[in-house]
Amino acid sequence: QATPPEEKVKTLDKAGVLHRTKIVDKGKRLRKKHWSASWTVLEGGILTFFKDSKNSAAGGLRQPSKLSIPEFTVDLKGASLTWAPKDKSSKKNVLELRSRDGSEYLIQHDSEAIISTWHSAIIQGIQEMSAD
Ligand code: I3S
C-alpha cells in the first residue's frame, strides 16, 4: 500500500522594514555599498527586497504601497545565511545571505529581537526550499 505524499510544509511568511545592501552580484563584488531601509517580504521561499522609498522607511510594518517595485528577489533554494563577520560591516545585528547564483546581501536591523526572528524565518525558508 502506497503511503500518501507528504503534505508540503508551508514556508513561514514574514514582512517588515529592514536595512539591506547587495554586496556581490553573481560572483562579482560590487564597488560600493548602498544601505537602504526597505520593505522586505518572505513568502513561498522567496525573499523580496522592495525598492527604497520614503514610505517604506517611515511606514513601519504596514505595506507601503501597491506600487512598490521589487528591487531584488532571492530564491532561498540553495541559499545560505550566517551572521556577518565584523569585517563586512561596522553595524550591529548584520546577517549575510548568499544565494545559489553567487550573490550576497547584508541584512540589518538595530533590534536584536527583530533580526533574530528574520534569521529564524529565513533559515526555515532555506531548509524547506532545499529539502528533497
Ligand atoms: O564597506 P564600507 O565601504 O565601509 O561601507 C560603508 C559605506 O557604504 C558607507 O558609505 P559612504 O562610503 O558613502 O560613506 C556607508 O555609510 C557605511 O554605512 C558603510 O559601512 P557599514 O560598516 O555601515 O556597513
For the stretch 85-103, pLDDT in tens is: 999 999 999 999 999 999 9
H or E stretch at 130: helix 112-130
Q: Is pLDDT above 80 for 107? A: yes
* Cα within 13 Å of Cα(104), Cβ side: 15
Which residues sit with their C-beta closer than 6 Å to ligand 1? 33, 35, 89-91
User: Shortest CA distance to 21 belongs to which of 100, 108, 105?
Assistant: 105
Burial of 110 (0-12, 13-18, 19+ CB in 10 A): exposed
Q: Is pLDDT above 50 for 56? A: no
pLDDT tens readout for residues 23-33: 999 999 999 99
For a pLDDT cut of 90, what percent of the chain falls above it? 70
The answer to whether 120 and 81 are in contact (CB under 8 A) is no
Cα 1 to averaged position of ligand 1 atoms, centre (Å): 60
Average of per-residue pLDDT values in the chain: 86
Task: Give, as one character, the DSSP assignment of residue 111.
Answer: -
Q: Is pLDDT above 80 for 61? A: no
* Residue 64: predicted pLDDT: 54
Q: Is pLDDT above 80 for 10? A: no
Cα 10 to averaged position of ligand 1 atoms, centre (Å): 37
Selected residue with higher pLDDT from 4 and 50: 50
Cα 33 to averaged position of ligand 1 atoms, centre (Å): 6
